[in-house]
Amino acid sequence: MPTPSSDTPCLKRDISLSNVTAGIVAVLIGYTSSAAIIFQAASAAGASSAQTSSWLWALGIGVGLTSLGLSWRYRMPLVTAWSTPGAAFLATNLPGVPLGEAIGAFIVSAGLITLCGLTGVFERLMRHIPSSLASAMLAGILLNFGLEIFTRLEQHWLMPLALLAAWGIGRRFWPTLAVPGVVLTGIIWAILQGQLAIEGLPLSPTLPVLMTPEFSLATLISVAIPLFIITMATQNVPGMAVLNAAGYTPNSSPLLVATGGATLALAPFGGYALNMAAISAAVCTGPDAHPDPRRRYPAGIVAGLLYLLLGVFAATVTALFAALPGAMVAVVAGIALLGTLSSGLADAFSKPDERDAALVTFLFAGSGITLLGIGGAFWGLIAGMVTRHLIARRR
C-alpha cells in the first residue's frame, strides 16, 4: 500500500494559492481537452441529451471522488481522469452498437482494470521501468503543450507574450504565485478582448440516468477489451510514470482498484473509464504546485472538489468551458506545465548511460503518432526500453 506522509494532514497549514491554482488548472485542462470528445462518444452510442449529461455527471463524480479520496488518504497529489483516448476510440467504434451493450462493455473493461489492481500485475510491471525513461516519456507527453505557447504567436501574438511576461515577472519576484498570475492575466485579457461570454449561461443540476447493461460477446471483444487496453496503456502507464517522475512512488494496485471500482459503480450511468491522470496530474505534481512535494496533495483535493461540483452541474459544463477562448486555455496550460517539463527533461538526461534510450523515448512520446489505436507515449516507452536493452547488451 502507498505510505502516507508521517505528518498529520492539516489542510489549513498545507494549502496555498499555488496548489489551489494547480488543482483548478488541472480541471481546466481535463475538461477543455476532452469534453467535446465525450459528447461525440455518447452520440455514437445513441445516447439522448439526458443520457449524455448523465455520462458527464458520472465521469465528474467519479474523478472527483477518487481524486479527493486518494489525495487525502495518501497525502500525495493523486489526480484521476477519464480516458480521453478511450472516448476517442468509443466515438469511432460505437456507431451501430446498442447503448445497453456499450454499458455492458464499460462494466467488463472496469472489471479487468480492477482485477489488475487486485492481482498486483500492473505494479510488478511498473517496477521494471527506469525513472529516466519515465521522465523522458513525461517530457514527451508535455512537449506539445509547451510548443503551443509559441505556435499561438502566429495568430495571437500579444496574448502569449503578455502571459509569458506575467510568468517571467512572477518567477522573478513571487515564484509560487507565477502560475496564478498567468491565469489572472489570461482572464483579464479575455474580458478586455470581449472573448469571455458567459451571459445567459444555464445553471441547473444534472440528474443521473440509469442505463441497463446488456452483454454481447461480439461487443465485449470489439469494445470492452480494446477499451481496457487503451485505458491501461495510454492512461495508467503514463499516469504512474508522471507520479514516479515527480518523486512519488505509490503502490499502483490500490489506485487501480479505486479507479476500476469507481468505474464499475458508475458505468451504468455512463462512466465508461476512470484512470490515473497524466497531463492534468503533471500540473499538480510539479514544483509550481508547491516547492515542498509533501504539500502538493491539496492540489489533488481541490481538483477533486471542483470535479465533483462540475459533475453535479454537468449540463452546464460544456457551455461554461466553451466560453473560454481556446487559444488562452492552450497558452495557460502550456505555461503551467513548463516547470514539470523542465524537471522531466533534467531527470531524463541525468544518467549518461541511459541518454540514448531517454532520447528515443522523448522523441517518440512527443511525436503525437498513434499506432494500433495506442498513442505515442506508450510506444515511446517500449522503444526506449528496447533501446536501453540493446545498448546495454552491446556494452
Phi, psi (degrees; rounded to nearest 5) at 367: -70, -25
In whole angstroms, give the CA distance from residue 94 to residue 250.
35
DSSP 361-380: HHHHHHS--EETTEEHHHHH
- 277: closest CA among 25, 44, 103, 26? 26
Contact 347, 245 (CB under 8 A): yes
Q: By residue range, what is the domain housing residue 226?
A: 11-340
Contact 231, 375 (CB under 8 A): no
pLDDT at 346 over 60: yes
Instruction: Assess if residue 382 is contained within a domain.
Output: no
pLDDT at 372 over 50: yes
In whole angstroms, give the CA distance from residue 171 to residue 169.
5
Contact 282, 138 (CB under 8 A): yes
* Cα torsion angle, 269, 206, 333, 71, sign: negative
Instruction: Assess if residue 28 is contained within a domain.
Output: yes
Instruction: Assess if residue 345 is contained within a domain.
Output: no
Task: State percent of the chain over pLDDT 90.
Answer: 32
Length of the chain equals: 395
Instruction: Assess if residue 95 is contained within a domain.
Output: yes
Instruction: Assess if residue 104 is contained within a domain.
Output: yes
Instruction: Assess if residue 357 is contained within a domain.
Output: no
Instruction: Assess if residue 349 is contained within a domain.
Output: no
pLDDT at 33 over 70: no
pLDDT at 176: 63
As for how many domains the chain has, the answer is 1
65-74, 156-165, 277-286, 373-382: lowest mean pLDDT where? 373-382
pLDDT at 63: 97
Cβ neighbours of residue 323 closer than 8 Å, sequence gap 6 or more: 196, 197, 198, 201
- HSE value, Cβ hemisphere, 13 Å, CA-based, for 116: 25
Instruction: Assess if residue 99 is contained within a domain.
Output: yes
pLDDT tens digit sequence for 35-74? 767 877 888 889 988 898 899 999 999 999 999 999 999 9
**Element housing 305 (H / E):** helix 297-312
Q: Which amino acid is at 202?
A: P
pLDDT tens digit sequence for 200-252? 666 788 889 999 999 999 888 888 987 887 788 778 988 998 898 888 989 98
In whole angstroms, give the CA distance from residue 385 to residue 137.
11
Task: State percent of the chain over pLDDT 70.
Answer: 91
pLDDT at 321: 62
In whole angstroms, give the CA distance from residue 149 to residue 387.
31
Quick one: cell of 85? 483516448
Contact 219, 102 (CB under 8 A): yes
